[in-house]
């Protein structure tokens, strides 16, 4: 008998998990980024098609739980049609709110989704522009730092216990 308590997800999380939108690799993506660690089981890869500073299309691949898939799916819907600046301003809290809330233990799923988005935007700008826009901070955003910290923590844990991620 399991002593684990089942997580209570909102109906919206469950619906998106069962029927995710924008799932799959994008062959003509302008940029691709990833956040998460295969070692912990939560990985999100974000694909963006960008033209004239606007996100025309977005898709994702996910290896993870229901919250991970739902966060990535809803994020791709949220960014379509937005400028890079508008998409950059999306927070992990907004993603969680758009999903009707997440259990506290699953907040990292929306953090990874937004971290992956911000990595993609930063990568795209680094690769295609000569100047950094005023709205793009020199230092990593909160979500980028949190995703990086999670990835580093998982790697440290695996090294400590003698396993490779």
Q: Annotated active-site positions, please? A: 40, 109
- DSSP 3-state percent helix, strand, coil across the chain (nearest 5): 45, 20, 35
DSSP string covering 87-135: HHT--HHHHHHHTT---GGGHHHHHHHHHHHHHHHHHHHHHH-SS--TT
Cβ proximity of 108 and 150 under 8 Å: yes
Q: Token match 């522009």: residue?
A: 129
């Amino acid at each position: 008998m399991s002593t684990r308590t089942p997580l209570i997800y909102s109906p919206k999380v469950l619906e998106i998990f069962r029927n995710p939108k924008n799932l799959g690799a994008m062959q003509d993506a302008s940029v691709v980024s990833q956040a998460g660690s295969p070692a912990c089981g939560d990985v999100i890869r974000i694909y963006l098609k960008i033209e004239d500073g606007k996100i025309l299309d977005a898709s994702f691949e996910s290896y993870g739980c229901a919250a991970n898939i739902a966060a990535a799916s809803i994020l791709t819907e949220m960014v379509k049609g937005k400028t890079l600046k508008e998409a950059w301003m999306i927070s992990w809290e907004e993603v969680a709110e758009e999903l009707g809330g997440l259990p506290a233990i699953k907040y990292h799923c929306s953090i990874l989704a937004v971290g992956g988005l911000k990595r993609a935007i930063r990568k795209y700008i680094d690769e295609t522009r000569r100047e950094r826009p005023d709205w793009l901070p020199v230092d990593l955003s909160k979500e980028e730092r949190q995703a990086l910290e999670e990835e580093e923590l998982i790697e440290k844990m695996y090294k400590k216990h003698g396993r490779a991620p």
